[in-house]
Chain A
C-alpha cells in the first residue's frame, strides 16, 4: 500500500461533557475515496472541523502527507494540503471564477493582480474538474454544481492532496450529482485522497473504496466497500441492536458494542419476513413513534391546482391527524410549495382550503389566522431569535393573544411556556436562557413550540426539513411531538424532507416531488427508503443511473444467521 495521504489516529474531542469524537481512526491512501457515514450528530462534522483547523482536538494525531499534527490551525491545514468543501460553499458571489480560485493567493505583477495569468491557470484547473463555466463568469450567476466545481478547482490550485467533500450532492440535482460523481472518480485517478461524507448509500456503492461509519463519536464500522451489504452499513449507522420490529423502546438509547461484527452476529432479526416486506432495512425501529396507517379523517388541508414560481400545479390533501411527507431533492420545489401555502410566496393559481374554508394567505400572518403554521428549514435565518430568551422565542406569536388590555400577562405567559417546554421536552427548560445557548435540537423545539400551545390553535402544521442540524435524540423527540400533535389534536401535518429515513420514520403517506410537481405517492408497506430513493431518481434526472438497489439481503445470507 502506498504511503497514506491522511492518517487520523485516536482523535478525541469533547464539548462540555459530551464526547463528539472518541478515539476515531481514519486512514485514506492516495487515490482512494473513503466514504464517511453516520447520522446527524454522529461526529462527522466535528471530525471535519478538527481536520480543517476549526476545532483543536483534545487528543490524537492527524498526519497529512507525512507530517504529524496534534492540532491544526486553519492556515496549517491548508498548507498541509487539506481542502474541505463544505455544504455551505465558501465562494464569494460577487467575484469571478478565477478571482475566487485565487482569493488570498493572488498572482501579482508590479503590485497589481495579474488577471490574465490567473485566468489562464484557472481555465486549466476548470478543465481538470470538467467545469463548463469560464474563468470570467461571476460565481453568483453559476448553478450550485458549477460553484462546487469552482471550489474544487480552488482546492486544486492550492495543490491539495486531501479533499474532503461534506455531503456534496445535498444541494445538487440528479444530473449534477452524476457529473460530480464522475469528477470525484477523475480526482481519485489523479491521486487525491478523498474523504466523502454522505447520507446516501447509493453514492457509497458507486464511489467509495472504503467506508468508515461513525456513531456517537466512535467508529462503529470500517471496511472496504466491496462485499458490504447495505444492511450492515445501516446497522452500523443506526446502531440497531434489536431485531424485533415492534421494539421501539431500547433502540436509540442503546449503545451497541464497538465491534460491528459481534453486534451483527449477536442479534438476528426474529421476524425477517415482515422486515423485508414492510420495512426498509434502513428503518430503525426506534424512529417510529407511531404505527403508520391509512388516516382517513375529514381533510384538514386541501390544495387544488396550486401554482407558483418554480412549482405546480400541485394538488394534495392532508386528512385530520395525518402526517404527509413531501420527499424530494433540494430544488424540487418542496420549500416553495410550503412557503406558498404559508403565504410567504404568492400563488399564481389554484385554491387552498383549511377544513372547508377557502383561504388565500398573502402574508404569513394571514396564514396563521387561517390556522396554517410553518416551521421553516433555515432555523438560523428564518426561525430563531438567538439573543432573545427561550420564552420570548417560543411564545412570540402568542404574547399578543395572552395579553389583556394591551398589557402582557406575565403569569399566563410563564404557564404557557412551562406547558410547552414540557410538551416538546425542552432541555434545559429555562425560560430566561437565551436561545443561542441551546443545542440545535432544542432550538428547533423552541421554533416548533411556537405552534404548540393552547392559546393559538393550529389546524395545519407545515414543516420544512424538521430535523436539519438536530442531534439524534432530539430528532426522536421532535418526531414524537409532531406525531402526538397529529394523533391528539388532529393537526394535519405536511412536512418536507430530503432524508428518506425521516420520511419513513414520520410519514403516514409520502408524496414524491420532482420538478415542482407531485410525481408519485407511497404509503403503507411500499413506503420504504429504497422505494423513495428510486422514485425520486427516476423522476428527477432522466440520466440518473438505475438507483433501485438490490433489495435487502435475505437474512439467510447475513452472517447473523450463521451465528444463531
Chain B
C-alpha cells in the first residue's frame, strides 16, 4: 500500500491533485467501484438515510482507528481495544444508570480507558516488553475485569446519556462529529507537530531516533493512553446508541476489525508509514462493505469472509503492484 505522510505527500505541480492522491491511495478507486456496485445492485445504497447509517456505524471504528494507526506507525500495536471498548461502555452506562450526568459518565469511561492505555504504555514503552504480547494479555485481562465488575448486562441509561449517540449537531449525528474531530486532530498532529515527525522517525528506526536525541518513549506512551481513551469513548458511544452494555460480548472482535481498517488504509504493520487519509478510507471501505452486504441480505459469516479476503487482497495488491518512487 502506497503510503506517504500528508506533510510530504503534497502532489507535484504538474500532476492533477486527484490523480496523485488516487495513485497513493488506490483504495479510493476500490471504494468508488464498491459504491457503484452496491448502488446498482441495491438501488438504495446512496440514500441519505443509508449513508448516515454507514457513517454512524463507521464512527466508532474511526475514533479508535486513528490513534491505533499512529501507534502502529510508531512501531507498536494495541490488541486490547475491544475489551477497553467494553469496559468504557460499561463504566459510562453504569455511571449514567446511577443517575450521574452524561458528562460524568463519559469522563468516567475515559478515565478507565486511560488507565488501561497507561498500563499498556508503561509495559511496552518503558519496560520494553513486546506490544503484541502485552496487549494480547490485556485483551483477555480487561475483558475478565469487566465481567468481574459487571457480571450482568446493563441497560436503561436514561435520556440524557442517549444524547451522546442519538443527537444531531447541525444535522450530523454526534458520533460522526466526534469521529470527524478525531480524524482532523490525527491528521493535524502528523502534519503540523514535531511529535508527528517523531512518530514516523521512531517507527522507521528507533535506534537512530534515540541517537538523534528524540524521546523515544514519551510519544508512543502518550499514544497508548490516547488509544485507550479513544476505545473507551467509542464504548460509551456504542452503549449510548444501543442503550445497553454487556461485559461478555460488547466489542468482541472489535480489535481485529479496527486493525483491518488501519492496515487496509495503508499503514505498515512494521511501522514508519501510514496516513490519516488512508485510515479514513479503510474505515469507510469496511463500513460500506458491511452495510452493502447487509442490504443484499448476505449472511453474516459471508460478510466476515469478505472482510478477511479484502484485507489479504489489499496486502497482496500492494505487494505485487509496481513500486512507485518512494
Q: Are A389 and B8 in contact (CB under 8 A)?
A: yes
Q: CB-CB < 8 A to A437: which residues of B?
A: 325-326
Assembly CA distance A365 to B209 (angstroms): 10
A399 to B209, CA, bound (A): 13
Is B24 among interface residues, defined by CB-CB distance under 8 A?
Answer: no
Report if A392-B205 is in contact (Cβ < 8 Å); known contacts: A344-B211, A387-B326, A407-B192: no
A387 touches B213 (CB 8 A): no
Q: Are B194 and A383 touching (Cβ within 8 A)?
A: no
Among listed B155-163, B165-173, B196-204, B243-251, interface-contacting one: B196-204
| Closest Cβ neighbor of B268 among chain A residues | A387
Q: Give bound CA distance, A408 to B212, whole Å.
A: 18
- Given the known inter-chain contacts A396-B209, A407-B192, please indicate yes or no for A385 contacting B204, CB distance below 8 A: yes
**Contact assessment for B215 and A387 in the assembled complex, using a CB-CB cutoff below 8 Å:** no
Report whether A383 and B208 are in contact in the complex, using a CB–CB cutoff of 8 Å: yes
Tell whether A397 pairs with B214 under 8 Å between CB atoms, given A385-B201, A388-B201, A408-B193. yes
A450 CA to B191 CA, complexed, in Å: 20
B201 touches A376 (CB 8 A): no
Residue-wise interface mask of A (354-387) relative to B, using a CB-CB cutoff of 8 A (1 in contact, 0 not): 0000000001110111000010100001111111
Tell yes or no: B272 within 8 A of A by CB. Answer: yes
Contact across chains for B209 and A387 when beta carbons are under 8 A apart: no
In the complex, what distance in Å separates the CA atom of A391 from the CA atom of B200? Answer: 13
Query: Are A383 and B209 in contact, CB atoms less than 8 angstroms apart?
Result: no
Residues in A whose Cβ lies below 8 Å from that of B212: 364, 396-397, 450
Residues 178-200 of B, flagged 1 when their CB comes within 8 A of A and 0 if not, give 00000000000001111011101
Bound CA span A389–B200, Å: 11
A253 interfacial by beta-carbon distance below 8 Å: no
B273 at the interface (CB under 8 A from A): yes
Instruction: Assess the A382–B207 pair: CB atoms within 8 A.
Output: yes
**CB <8 Å contact, A407 and B193:** yes
* Residue of B196, B208, B210, B273 with highest tally of chain A CB at under 10 A: B208
Name the distance in Å between A463's Cβ and chain B's nearest Cβ: 13
Q: B272–A396 contact, CB under 8 A?
A: no
Least Cβ–Cβ distance between B125 and chain A, in angstroms:
15
Please give the distance in Å from A246's CB to the nearest CB on chain B.
Answer: 39
Within 8 A of B (CB), among A413-458: 432, 434, 436-437, 450
Chain A residues whose CB sits within 8 angstroms of the CB of B211 once the complex forms? 342, 344, 364, 374, 376, 382-383
Q: Contacts A381-B207, A387-B272, A399-B194 hold; do A365 and B8 have CB atoms under 8 A apart?
A: no
Please determine whether B213 and A397 come into contact, CB atoms closer than 8 angstroms: yes
Would you give the shortest CB distance from A179 to chain B, in whole angstroms?
33
Beta-carbon nearest neighbor of B270 in chain A = A387
Which residues of the partner chain B approach A551 to less than 8 Å between Cβ atoms?
none
Contact A408 B326 (CB under 8 A): no
A-side contacts of B326, CB under 8 Å: 387, 434, 436-437
CB neighbours (8 Å) of A407 from chain B are 192-193
Please report the C-alpha to C-alpha distance between residue A382 and residue B205 in the assembled complex, in whole angstroms: 8
Q: B274 to chain A: closest CB distance in Å?
A: 11
Shortest Cβ distance from B205 into A: residue: A385
Measured CA separation A406–B189 after assembly (Å)? 10
State the CA gap A364–B214 with chains docked (Å). 8
A310 to B207, CA, bound (A): 21
Q: Are A406 and B193 in contact (CB under 8 A)?
A: yes
Q: Are A387 and B208 in contact (CB under 8 A)?
A: no
> Within 8 Å CB of A342, what residues of B?
211
In Å, the complex CA distance between A403 and B197 comes to 12
A369 contacts across to B, CB distance below 8 A: 213
- Of all chain B residues, the one with the shortest Cβ separation from A410 is B7
Residues from chain A with Cβ under 8 Å of B207 in the complex:
381-382
Chain B residues near A387: list those with CB within 8 A.
Answer: 204, 272-273, 326
CA distance A387 to B200 in the complex (A): 9
A439 vs B271: C-alpha distance when bound (angstroms) = 24
A72 to B250: give the CA distance in the assembly, Å: 59
Residues 213-227 of B at the A interface (beta carbon under 8 Å): 213-215
Q: Does A554 contact B (CB under 8 A)?
A: no
Taking the nearest CB of chain A, how far is it from the CB of B9, in angstroms? Answer: 9
Q: Which residues of A contact B191 (CB under 8 A)?
A: 408
In the assembled complex, the CB of B213 is this many whole angstroms from the nearest CB of chain A, namely: 4
B204 touching A396, Cβ below 8 Å: no
Q: Give A406 Cβ to nearest chain B Cβ, in Å.
A: 6
When distances are taken between beta carbons in the complex, the residues of chain B under 8 Å from A365 are 213-215
| CB-contact partner of A396 in B193, B201, B215, B325, under 8 A | B201
CA distance A386 to B201 in the complex (A): 10
Interfacial chain B residues near A363, Cβ < 8 Å:
210
Q: Which of B8, B192, B210 contacts A364 (CB 8 A)?
A: B210
Chain A contacts for B194, CB-based, 8 A:
399-400, 403, 406, 408
Question: How far does the alpha carbon of A367 sit from the alpha carbon of B204 in the complex, in Å?
Answer: 23
**Which chain A residue lies CB-closest to B3?**
A387
Residues of B within 8 A of A381 (CB): 205, 207-208
In Å, the complex CA distance between A354 and B193 comes to 31
Shortest A241–chain B CB gap in Å is 39
Beta-carbon contact of B214 and A396 below 8 Å: yes
CB distance from B128 to the nearest CB of A (A): 15
Q: Are A392 and B197 in contact (CB under 8 A)?
A: yes
Nearest-neighbour CB distance to chain A for B131, whole angstroms, equals 20
Contact A368 B8 (CB under 8 A): no
Taking the closest CB of chain B, its distance from the CB of A279, in whole angstroms, is 35
Q: With a CB–CB cut-off of 8 A, which chain B residues contact A397?
A: 212-214
**Contact partners of B198 in chain A: CB under 8 A:** 396
In residues 112-126 of chain A, which contact B (Cβ within 8 Å)? none
Give complex CA distance A434, B8 in Å: 10
Determine if B210 and A396 form an interchain contact, defined as CB atoms under 8 angstroms apart. no
Residues of A within 8 A of B204 (CB): 385-388
Q: How distant is the Cα of A434 from the Cα of B192 in the complex, in angstroms?
A: 19
Chain B hits for A383, CB < 8 A: 208, 211
CB neighbours of B8 from chain A (8 A): 389, 391-392, 432
Q: Which residues of B contact A391 (CB under 8 A)?
A: 8
Task: Chain A residues near B325: list those with CB within 8 A.
Answer: 437
> Which residues does chain A contribute within 8 Å of B200, judged by CB atoms?
385, 388, 392
Alpha-carbon distance A432/B326, docked complex (angstroms): 9
Of the candidates B8, B193, B213, B214, the one having the most CB atoms from chain A within 10 angstroms of its own CB is B213
How far apart are B232's CB and chain A's nearest CB, in angstroms? Answer: 25
Q: Which residues of A contact B201 (CB under 8 A)?
A: 385, 388, 392, 396
Chain B proximity of A387: nearest CB distance (Å): 5
**Min CB distance, A436 to chain B, in Å?**
7
A407 to B193, CA, bound (A): 5
B213 & A368 in contact (Cβ 8 Å cutoff): yes
Residues of chain B with a CB closer than 8 A to A388's CB: 200-201, 204, 272
Residues of chain B with a CB closer than 8 A to A408's CB: 191-194, 196-197
CB-CB < 8 A to B215: which residues of A?
A: 365
- Quick one: closest B residue to A403, CB to CB? B194
Task: Tell me the complex Cα distance, A432–B20, Å.
Answer: 15
**Chain A: minimal CB distance from B186 (Å):** 15
Query: CA separation between A113 and B212, bound complex, in Å?
Result: 47
A374's nearest neighbour on chain B, judged by CB, is B211
CA gap between A403 and B191 in the complex, in Å: 12
B85 to chain A, nearest CB (A): 30
Q: State the Cβ distance, A323 to closest chain B Cβ, in Å.
A: 22
With contact pairs A365-B214, A432-B8 given, residues A399 and B208 touching in the complex (Cβ less than 8 Å): no
Q: How far is the CA of A342 from the CA of B207 in the complex (A)?
A: 14
The residue in chain B whose Cβ has the minimal distance to the Cβ of A433 is B325
Nearest 9 CB-CB pairings of A with B: A368-B213, A400-B194, A365-B213, A385-B204, A399-B194, A397-B212, A434-B326, A389-B8, A403-B194
Q: Can you list 7 A-B contacts with CB-CB less than 8 angstroms, sorted by A residue number?
A: A383-B208, A386-B205, A392-B8, A396-B201, A403-B193, A407-B193, A437-B326
B binding-site residues for A, Cβ under 8 Å: 8, 191-194, 196-198, 200-201, 204-205, 207-215, 272-273, 325-326
Known A376-B211, A387-B273, A392-B201; 18 more pairs at CB < 8 Å = A364-B210, A365-B213, A368-B213, A376-B208, A381-B205, A383-B211, A387-B204, A387-B272, A388-B272, A396-B198, A396-B209, A396-B214, A397-B214, A399-B194, A408-B191, A437-B325, A437-B326, A450-B212
